[in-house]
Structure 1
């Protein structure tokens, strides 16, 4: 997942998710191709790492992150009292029993190639209509200015995720179930909606974190390297220390953040900076009260 290899890694994982053949060549072992394999990922990461990754446009643009059902539970630190501990065997026992039954059921596969041949579970007419209504509702929310306009990658897959969840719920109840019922689809949509709301919340938090990170990089650069008492947005776009600030929207967002927190002050229109009247310029507020050299 280093910056140099991240895009290649994400593309490879996406390829595996799609069920494409796995081709592998190694010196000494020769070539091998595996068909009909499936990839599932359960990933637990620290919030700081997750926010950084969610703010990475490569992870979103490749379709990698929208394949996940993401959630960030509220921390229970400070409330994990031993006096409150209760045994939950009564709830876990039937869960374990059902899980064991499923795991001990032979996988549907070709005996020779060991290629999986999963059984298709149809949607009942009512379940299909319910899923279609949900897909339309989420699609409308992706319009400019809509609730999901900022997370179209996640929203575009919401109906697909709901259908997949419905299949899992159906198979959990009965491995031989002929179809997904409307009731199960409604349960699946409720879960998909929860994960979509989590994606919206966490994506907003990740973007805010990225904005703050860029603003802090700009602040440090202004106080350590910029040898003038004022700066213009054009200066930031041209000379910023990180590539992410060399686009006007990102530069203006960082400048606005520094103004809001008292690190920059908007100068009157027409103020002379570098011998020219500037339509927009900002005075750098010094850390220790000293004024930087002109």
Structure 2
């Protein structure tokens, strides 16, 4: 990628430059979709490439802050939401029916017939868009022929009903389209079709009485009713609605998960993904995190910088409810849970014998030998106190695994008051295997040579404001996580599958048991160090230079902290795979695996954070939560003084309050403010 951006570079030239790495990987250009305002002024673009194997590469492109060039990313979304596609055509034809499709490619196909077509983007983009331009219009929704498409259609309909639009939905089942097909596929098969024929397609009317399914849909319908009274909800549902209203909705990456880069875990991951019908990314993350939990107590890894680092990994997987988080995680962790059950029973018996020996001990008898630490490898929780107790009483290498990580990220450990301390402790464990805890009542715990790996699986709606939290980003918390955000699953078929009948899963479990049979040291710092061989070091050096160039001057500037840490992530992944396979050193193949998986995570982070540049939504949601806790009126002047730390200035307070007021989430009384839409009697 060029390090100097030509000031007169066209959007088409910029798209070619920014997509060069993907084109080198075999992706072929399909389109450059411009998003404009209703006057036709360009706001941003979406680059679309497709691989011969069917996978897609879709990225937003915006102008740089100084206006002299282009970069990957979207501009900050207005409070009302992201703009729709083809706004100029919508505004120019106020009496025409508008067709809503899932994706720009389908909208362009209908546009070639002279129809007015628009979209908000991908299947999960409806809730983040500003649908006001379609208020009171006649709208025909053409969903893709799969469950994510149907869900997109329902979400769009809910938004438009609240705006007084007249809506019908194309009955895609009646069109005879294959699964996943869309308006583009229909048009491609019928190149001679006319606009009138499209408008005459079988459609199902959507009546204004259609119910809104959940708090998020309720939020969508209310987003444009700024001055209406929000119906009071119990506190948890009110906070969920506020999150849906305030926070920009993001999507993961369309990049395929590099399953083959899992090396010794690849066959088991493929078997798990196919048998359990979960995404390859979810299967891969589950197995990789479990492998890290097991090998972090056996070795350390020499990174490219020369220091010995823990083989610990933190993984974050974002997936919709029903996409198989438990289904993937249970088989990955089964041998560890089996080991804990058996070892825990033996430890309990040893503790009982120890207590009995102490009770029988006579005055001059030597004290009985206490049993070793509790053998549990999976820690109980992610709070600082929980980690302190777990490492004080347990083994030196542990893991935090949760398929309902929303409870973790919304719990006590990650409240605005505790986030920095919790994140700093987790960063210290990832960096050096060092846990330092100063207790409020006095006393200090210093634990060296410990190891912690983690895999947090979470639904997008449960992310709240933590992903865009500027404090967490500033201290490098999220860049230490490997992210996978796979696309929602297509409808599954009934297919009984038992992992114990899979030869690949049995081999994986056998490898896990081999590693579990090794005793853990009290101190993991002096463990053997897995080294990069010459070719592996050369490959990692090239990866490092790519990340430096792209992170500081190229297309990864918007995720620079992630890019600059990607090489260490790659070394750790390569070390985990090497040790899990029982090899002694990292060769070029393992280095390539590590780089591929680190790059995939970086790709997902870039897609996920492309709309997170504006910190105001996160601050607004933090303020709303704080106001909800106060129950009644709060003086405006008190917010910078005693409110959340991210709002300790009047400007930040005012920006957050403006956002909340625009959405009807707060009420003012002179110099006081309180949260709206909360039934405090129902918690």
Structure 1 length as normaliser, TM-score? 0.64
Q: 1-side partners of 2:523 and 2:514: how far apart? A: 22
Q: 1-side partners of 2:444 and 2:619: how far apart? A: 45
Give SS of 1:10's match.
helix
Q: 2-side partners of 1:8 and 1:199: how far apart? A: 23
Instruction: Choose which of 564, 588, 597 in structure 2 pairs with 1:156.
Output: 564
Does the Cα contact within 8 Å between 2:570 and 2:598 map onto a contact in 1?
Answer: yes
1:122 matched to 2:531:
yes
5+ residue gaps, structure 2, are 1-413, 624-649, 663-683
Instruction: Choose which of 45, 48, 55 in structure 1 pairs with 2:468.
Output: 55
Partner of 1:231 in structure 2? none
1:103 matched to 2:103:
no
Does the Cα contact within 8 Å between 2:433 and 2:452 map onto a contact in 1?
Answer: no
1:85-104 Cα shifts (integer Å, max 9, x gaps): 44452321111111111111
1:169 matched to 2:577:
yes
Does the Cα contact within 8 Å between 1:130 and 1:185 map onto a contact in 2?
Answer: yes
Q: Residues 27 and 56 of structure 1: is their aligned pair in 2 closer, same or farther, counting only changes over 3 Å?
A: closer
Q: 1-side partners of 2:611 and 2:464: how far apart? A: 7
Partner of 1:3 in structure 2? 416
Q: Residues 57 and 36 of structure 1: is their aligned pair in 2 closer, same or farther, counting only changes over 3 Å?
A: same
Partner of 2:545 in structure 1? 136
Partner of 2:430 in structure 1? 17
More helix, by proportion? 1
Q: Residues 242 and 99 of structure 1: is their aligned pair in 2 closer, same or farther, counting only changes over 3 Å?
A: farther
Q: Residues 27 and 207 of structure 1: is their aligned pair in 2 closer, same or farther, counting only changes over 3 Å?
A: closer
Q: Residues 149 and 21 of structure 1: is their aligned pair in 2 closer, same or farther, counting only changes over 3 Å?
A: closer
Does the Cα contact within 8 Å between 1:51 and 1:202 map onto a contact in 2?
Answer: no
1:79 matched to 2:491:
yes
Does the Cα contact within 8 Å between 1:25 and 1:32 map onto a contact in 2?
Answer: yes
1:175-215 Cα shifts (integer Å, max 9, x gaps): xx33210011111111111111011111114458976997x
Does the Cα contact within 8 Å between 1:51 and 1:209 map onto a contact in 2?
Answer: no
1:176-187 matches, cutoff 5 A: 177-187=583-593
Instruction: Choose which of 607, 610, 615 in structure 2 pairs with 1:204.
Output: 610
Q: 2-side partners of 1:4 and 1:25: how far apart? A: 16
Residue 20 of structure 1 deviates from its aligned partner by 5.4
Give SS of 1:12's match.
helix
Q: Residues 192 and 28 of structure 1: is their aligned pair in 2 closer, same or farther, counting only changes over 3 Å?
A: closer
Q: 2-side partners of 1:206 and 1:137: how far apart? A: 24
Q: 1-side partners of 2:578 and 2:444: how far apart? A: 39
Give SS of 2:609's match.
helix
Does the Cα contact within 8 Å between 1:19 and 1:39 map onto a contact in 2?
Answer: no
Q: 2-side partners of 1:241 and 1:52: how far apart? A: 16
Give SS of 2:570's match.
helix
Does the Cα contact within 8 Å between 1:52 and 1:210 map onto a contact in 2?
Answer: no
Structure 2 length as normaliser, TM-score? 0.29
Does the Cα contact within 8 Å between 1:52 and 1:206 map onto a contact in 2?
Answer: no
